[in-house]
Structure formats: C-alpha cells, structure tokens
Structure 1
C-alpha cells in the first residue's frame, strides 16, 4: 500500500502494514490440516523470536518488552530478530518450517496459510488461561481455526467515517452520534451530495483513493460494504452466491456513484486541508486528523447498506512455530508480551486499539467517553469471519489459506467498478475466479 503522505504512513498505517505483503503468500502445496503440535520442552533455555520491523516507536516498544522479560527471570532468554516489513511475510513463506523461530509475529490474514503449510502450532496449551481470557473477542476470532487458537495480537484495527463538524453544520447536514443511529447508505449518499453542493470543487468525500483500490486497502476498507449489504467474500468455501448477489451489486453501484463527489486525494491531505468534509478511514488516521481539526473532528460508523453497519478488523498477531522444541518457554514469553504493560506501551506507540480487554478499557483514546470510543464499541461486537448477522459489527477477513486469491480478485473487481464497470459483471467474474482457484486447491482444507 502506498500513501500520499510518508508521515501518515509511518505514524498511522502501522496497523495496516498487515495488508502489505499478502500478495506474496500462496499455498505452497504443503500438507493441509490443523492439529500440528509443538513440543512442550523443558521451559528453559534460549528461544528465537521473529517480528516485523514497524515504525521506530513500535520496534522500541517490542525491544523493551524483550529486555524486561529477559531480566525478569533466569529460565528463558529471548533472542529477537526484526525483519523489514517488505520482506517479512515473504521470509516466513520461503522458510522451511524446521528453520522457523520458536515464536513469530504474522499478519492476521496470513495465519490460515501458515497453518495450512504446517508452520504454526496451536497455542492453547502454552499460553495461560489469563492471557487467553483477557484477549478481546475480536482478536481471538481472528486467530482461531476449528476451535483452536493459533494467534493473539497486541492490538487490533478499525474503520469509520471521519467528519468535519464545521463543514457539516454549515451545510445543514445531520450526522450520527454512534452505532445506534448510523446513516443508511441512502442517507450517507445524500449527505455526500449536500456537502458537495456547498464545496467549491464539488468534492466532499475522501475514500483514500491514493492507496489504490486494487490492493489490500480495497478489501479492508470496502469489504464492509459487502458485509453490510448482506453478502460475504466467501461463504462455505464459495464466492458464488455470496459475493455476486444482487444486493452486493446494488451496494457497489452506490459506491460507484460516490466517485463524482470524491477527492482523489493524490497528496494525502484531502481531509486535513478541508477539501473533503468526510473521510473513510481507520483509527490510524486519528493523530493527523485530530491535530488538523481539533474539536471539529467527529468519528462516525460506516453507512448501513441493510445488514447493519460493519467494519473491518484485525492486525499483526503472535504465535508459536510448529517445529519448536520449547513450546512451554514460548508460551511464557507470550504471556509476558501480552500483559497490559507491554500492550499499553505498544498501543501508545502506534495508536491502535489494544488487543486485551483490560488495556482497551483503560485507554484514554478508546475508553467510554474517549475520542475513539466508537472503534472499541465496534470491536466489542465481533462477527468472526462467517456469522455476519445484523447485530454484529467487526468482521474478520476470511480465514482461509486461499485468502490471497480472495483479496486479489475482490479488490480488482472493486477497482473496476469504481472505474465504471458493471458491478454485477465484475463481481461474477471475481466469484468465478475465486471458486476456480479453490477448486484447483481442493478448497484449501484446514481440517
């Protein structure tokens, strides 16, 4: 993903670096099936840990967590290796399971592929009950396959519509106060048009078009439109009948109609400079937006296309290498890494919502009454990746080893629709391609 602002990328998009390397992940023809178990080992000695090298403040928080763990006891010593973002997922993909570390970080959507290729072990037997119970339901949903926990994250992510209160008030546009009175898609579109009528260039909306829609940004940001329309990227292992429904096509027709009123945001400053009154974005946009707008910044849920407002969720998670000979020591480190002190230090560094219940509740940004309370409320209503009801809000991207194909085909369809293609035709093409790939790979069975 490429943003128009280097600063926003480094300070804000860290929670979405999860989306950068997915195209490098493909099923390698390895054995399928969950249930790979790490060896418990002695619980003592040196363990190896791999992590992606995020922004400097994130790396410092992680290095501090490792240093504190190493000095807090004498039984286990952690050797940390940081690998550049651009190479991280490719490195895990190219490394034989026997050469992988005892503990490794991984992009949430890549988890199923690594389980499929027997590179991750379930962590339930190695982390404490306290650690598991303190993880938020949304974090646990992203890291679970067939009832087994393969990953837990220090932080999560979320989407919303940022609005410039001053511009909305000037145009006489009423806006939601939260999830209970979210805009319908029609109301959102009407607001966009009304605001555009008051704008000198007729552009009132920022969709972060500068990130490109034929990318993971397209899937992460706009799959919520599909889910909110009652559809899904994948249902029971098939895209046909889930992605290419008339309701989803209608929703993307509405999305297509917004282009007329959308600032292309080539400089990444459409919202902060006041050119757009509305910006479709994530929690990572808050620091820059808050600094630019101050008290005029309001955070709203995404519009409801009929099945309730939805948001994406998920970020980097931590797990145990399938071939570790010291699962007990690996689990001890994860218990330490995922405590409130370390989680709070990391989320202070990157501004993301905490992945633990207690740290999230104590967060100045996300607690009740905080400026990003909406994101916490959304994450408190997780759907998982399959049971997408009207009442749940935060949806996990499909947990499947075939996810790279799903996201590539959907995001291309989205980009084509935005460029003027017929939604029904584009979605049908994407669904056929996804289903053919899954058929060619026996459905990417994980059990």
Structure 2
C-alpha cells in the first residue's frame, strides 16, 4: 500500500539512529499520550501501530477490524509522515510502547529481545502460508511474525509510448538504457526509478544473478556485473533520461498516470489506480536481466505483524494477533484486495482471490511467483543504508562503482560481525 511504501529509503537512516540509541539504552519517552482506550469488558487495553497507508479506506478498515474484537479494547496509532520507523522504535523503548506493531522481518529485533515468538499461533496453519514468507520470518527455528500482505514491485510501462517509439518492453538492462533514451522527449522522461534511484538497488543485484548475502551470511553483491549495472544506471542519470523530480515518489503511481514518464518502478498496490487512469494502455515487466548470468527480478515487499515481547499484556496481544491475522480470513482478504492489490500470504486466500485471476493482476501474480525475491532477515537497516550510499556515490555523483561498493563492504562486514561473530 502506497503512501509509506518507501520502507527502504529516507527513513532508514532515522531507524538506524533509533536502533543505535536503543542498543545504547537511551531514548526519552515520546510523551504520555499512548492513544489507549478505556478498556473493554475484559479490562485489557492493547495498542497497535500502523504506518499510514496511502489507499483510501485503509485506516477505517484497520480500526473496524479492531473494534470487532471483543476480548480487549484495541486502539490504533495510525502514524503519518515519513518517520514511522523512528516513532515506532522510539516508542518501543518507553512505557508507552505498542503491544502489537507492523514491520518487516529483521534479525536484530529477535536478537535484541524486542519481538515475541509466535511459533505456537502460526505452526497449526503454517502450511497455508506462502513458504517463502514462513522462511523469511523464521530465525533460530522459531517464527517471529505473521505476514499480512505480499507486495511485488516491478515496472509499469505505457504501451502506446513504447509503440510510438518503435520499441519492445525491455528484457535486458541494456535495452532499458536504450528505451530510456528513445522515450525521453521535451515533456516526458523515459524511466522513473524513484527520486533517489535507490529503490532498484536490490533488483539490480538480483538481475545479475547475485544476491545481497549468500547462504553463509557473507557479502554476495560485490561483483563485476553489479558494478557494470551501476554504470548503466549512471548512464541514464547522466544523459537526463530518468525522472528525478516527481511530485510524489516511486510508491505513488502519479508519475506514470499523469504522463510524466513512460516506464515507472512501482508496486502492485497501485495497479487499480493505474488501470483506472490508463485503461488498457499499461503493461508490466520485471526488472530486466543484467550481465552474463543475468535473470529478471521482482522485489517482494510487504508488511508483517509482530508482538512486543516486553508488552505487559503479552498473552492478550498474541491472542489478538491470532484472532485477526490467522483466524479472520474475511478481514485478511479485505485487507489484501479492497484497498489496492496485494497478494494474500495465505495460500488458500491467494487461490480464491478472483480479483487477481485475470488481466494485469494475474500477470503481476505470475511475475511474483516466477521472479520474486523475499525479505532476508539478516539484511539489516544499516546494510540497506550502505547500499543506498552506493547509489548516491556511483549513480548520482558519478564516482567509481568499485570504490562505492568497497565503502559499503566495510559497513556490511561490521554489521555481519556484530550479528554472527
């Protein structure tokens, strides 16, 4: 879901700072107003944190689900602005910490004792979840979060603009560079990769056949093919073929719906809005293959529900999460399909989701299944920020890709040593 979907970007630095402070033990309380209600008949009050999703109706839906729960009084903090993580992690260090919160699977949450083990509530239905989601939430043999939605990200393109320029949808990065040049006019830019260009760093790595880390949790992204790919992004940037000043960032489809760009990186959540604006004049493709061992790539983002291990109402919080995100399939389906398009992580719901069975949505599901890359919980915030620095140094500033990757290696290796010794 769009508005805060840039979970990797500007806010990463804030979160890294917050986590550093968390490790040091010092963040002041965020104030005493925790938004908790007066309690239900059970006498238990729970608070849940959500970032502000962009699609209309999402806040009302979350609050409607919570209101339907009769074993506790559940209040929702709907956190607007671009600093959801900093507010979440600041709050987690205080007496006003949420009992339940959404985030992404991250190993440091487990190692710091911040999230509760949810194996007991997920185990009975584990086989009905996308097994890649189960794997990404499993650390030390235990399952730590419940996936709510899976969010594939890929390129949308204007069919008519490509036809007018006489080009086919790109299947290689070289073809994307050529397309960007041919599609750029005085009024339209060829490609939108986000205002910072950072959203496509991971897909670029995957498109070469490489990965962020290997199965021994060692650096796997620093290859000649990745350095070469960064050079191709630099070419598009330097030649002025990338849209860099869009009124809204990559997670919002307005750049392509308003005709500012011919090809835009965005998420499946935006598909209904894009189709409403452009009708049949839109197609989707994965991030194109790059380099000799290359393969097309799709990012699978998404959000998961976690329970604060330090909650004063730990059992009640787990019971609520089980009720909403495991037992209430009607609400899970509503959340995935009524406010933009998301793939339900529950296999049974994904298979019965009629809205995803035809047209562009069915293509999106196919790309998700064929080319998708899921969360790696060992890939931490500091590592993400380090690779954003690679894009800034090598693509935006035009520095040496090798030097930028070397610089990232130092940060990533330091983090890996902290996590794994």
What's the TM-score, normalizing by structure 2?
A: 0.80
- The CA deviation at 1:422 is 1.9
SS at match of 2:200: helix
1:120 aligns with 2:115: yes
2:241 equivalent to 1:264: no
CA distance in 2, matches of 1:273, 1:97: 43
Distance 2:275 2:393 in 1: 33
Q: Do 2:92 and 2:98's aligned partners in 1 also have CA atoms closer than 8 Å?
A: no
Question: Contact 1:243 / 1:431 at 8 angstroms: preserved in 2?
Answer: no
- Contact kept, 8 Å, 1:206 with 1:264, in 2: the verdict is yes
Q: Give how far 1:297 is off.
A: 0.9
Matched, 1:411 2:388: yes
Q: CA 1:157 to 1:79, structure 2 compared with 1: closer, same or farther past 3 Å?
A: same
The one of 344, 347, 352 aligned to 1:357: 347
Q: 2:321 aligns with which of 322, 334, 347?
A: 334
Residues 163-194 of structure 1 deviation map (CA, whole Å, 9 limit, x = unaligned): 11111222222237xxxxxx122233333334
Work out the CA distance in 1 between the residues paired with 2:351 and 2:49.
Answer: 26
How far residue 234 of structure 1 moved from its aligned partner, in angstroms, is: 3.1
For 2:147 and 2:302, the matched residues in 1 are separated by: 7
Which one of 129, 133, 139 corresponds to residue 133 of structure 2?
139
CA, structure 1 residues 202+292, in 2 after alignment: closer, same or farther (shift >3 Å)?
A: closer
Aligned counterpart, 2:38: none
Structure 1 residues 101 and 356 mapped into 2: Cα distance closer, same or farther (>3 Å)? farther
* Shift of residue 127, structure 1, vs aligned partner: 3.7
Aligned: 1:421 with 2:416? no
Alignment RMSD: 3.1
The residue aligned with 1:203 is 189
SS in 1 for 2:121: coil
Q: How big is the shift at 1:223?
A: 0.8
- TM-score (normalizing by structure 1): 0.76
Contact 1:160–1:280 under 8 Å retained in 2: yes
Listed as ranges, the matches of 1:229-308 within 5 Å are 229-235=208-214, 236-239=216-219, 242-259=220-237, 260=239, 261-268=241-248, 269-305=254-290, 306-308=293-295
Using the alignment, how far apart are the partners of 1:262 and 1:320 within structure 2?
A: 41
Check conservation: 1:204, 1:262, Cα contact below 8 A. Answer: yes
CA positional deviation for 1:275: 3.8
SS at match of 1:335: helix
| Higher mean C-alpha deviation, range 149-158 or range 76-85 | 76-85
Tell me how far apart the structure 1 counterparts of residues 192 and 140 of structure 2 sit (CA, whole Å).
39
Q: Describe the superposition over 1:342-370 as per-residue Cα deviations: whole angstroms up to 9, x where unpaired.
A: 12222312433323223333334422x23
**82-91 or 333-342: which moved more?**
82-91
Partner residue, 2:86: 90
1:148 is the counterpart of 2:142: yes
Residue-by-residue CA offset, 1:75-100 (whole Å, 9 max, x unaligned): x3242231524564334433567947
| Offset of residue 316 of structure 1 | 2.2
CA distance in structure 2 between the aligned counterparts of 1:114 and 1:97, rounded to whole angstroms: 13
SS at match of 2:348: helix
